[in-house]
């Protein structure tokens, strides 16, 4: 049993010059000999999958397929499942994470991705929406601003590839500390990962998280929270959270 890498990216990653994150993903997947699957389901743009196919091909990957999945029924397609079974890596694009979770969640395709990542060395990367869905408790949407509140964030089930974390993206650029703190106030046992744009958390099978890209990661550790007022806060009220550690 060999666990694969999990690589959530904060969005707006460099794709041509200084494309360290995407190039690292291609190398992990085997370079020229690797097989990469792109899942552009989160995006409404018709050419998103093709665009990433071209990017990975220019980086040396010779076997890149795009799964143009728009309906849940397609996640049981034998051809897609066969291709995924042979893949070394999966890349989920940005867009709307709820479109990802409601289309892929609980399907044979999603189950195979999770099982192969845990046991068969499949590397899974995702940018923006594709990063958020890696959490078990996924941030579906929320408001900007630094202060946590009872209505700052809305959660939905994710894929659970990083069950110990809640991932948020475009973090400093969109001022999302408040909504990450709000998510942790609901579930204080988790660690929040706020990913800046063009920045990735490269989480390896050794349990070590490494930072790649040009920005930074804000780590919000809620494991020692002493008190949260989320249970008693009125709608839109600020929420008290005591004992959070920020790195």
**Residues annotated catalytic, as ranges:** 128, 170, 197
Answer for the pair 212, 196: CB distance below 8 angstroms, yes or no.
Answer: no
Token pair, residue 44, equals: 């409404």
Q: How many Å apart are CA 87 and CA 13, to the nearest integer?
A: 23
Q: Among candidates 143, 126, 168, 170, which has minimal Cα distance to 37? A: 126
Answer for the pair 222, 189: CB distance below 8 angstroms, yes or no.
Answer: yes
* β 227-228/241-242 pair status: antiparallel
For 96, what's the count of Cα atoms within 13 Å in the CB-facing half-sphere?
8
Q: How many Å apart are CA 220 and CA 202, to the nearest integer?
A: 17
């Amino acid at each position: 049993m060999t666990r694969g890498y999990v690589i959530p990216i904060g969005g707006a990653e460099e794709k041509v010059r200084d494309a360290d994150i995407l190039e690292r993903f291609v190398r992990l997947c085997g370079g020229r000999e690797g097989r990469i699957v792109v899942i552009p389901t989160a995006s409404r743009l018709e050419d998103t999958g093709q665009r990433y196919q071209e990017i990975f091909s220019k980086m040396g990957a010779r076997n890149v397929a795009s799964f143009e999945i728009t309906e849940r029924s397609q996640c049981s397609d034998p051809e897609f499942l066969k291709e995924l079974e042979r893949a070394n890596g999966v890349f989920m694009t940005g867009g709307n994470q709820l479109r990802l979770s409601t289309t892929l969640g609980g399907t044979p395709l999603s189950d195979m991705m999770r099982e192969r990542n845990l046991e068969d060395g499949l590397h899974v990367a995702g940018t923006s929406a594709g990063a958020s869905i890696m959490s078990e408790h996924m941030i579906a949407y929320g408001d900007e601003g630094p202060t946590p509140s009872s209505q700052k964030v809305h959660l939905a089930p994710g894929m659970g590839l990083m069950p110990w974390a809640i991932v948020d993206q475009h973090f400093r650029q969109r001022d999302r500390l408040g909504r990450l703190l709000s998510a942790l106030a609901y579930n204080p046992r988790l660690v929040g990962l706020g990913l800046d744009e063009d920045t990735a958390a490269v989480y390896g099978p050794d349990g070590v998280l490494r930072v790649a890209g040009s920005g930074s990661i804000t780590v919000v550790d809620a494991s020692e929270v002493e008190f949260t007022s989320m249970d008693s806060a009125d709608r839109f009220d600020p929420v008290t959270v005591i004992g959070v550690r920020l790195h």
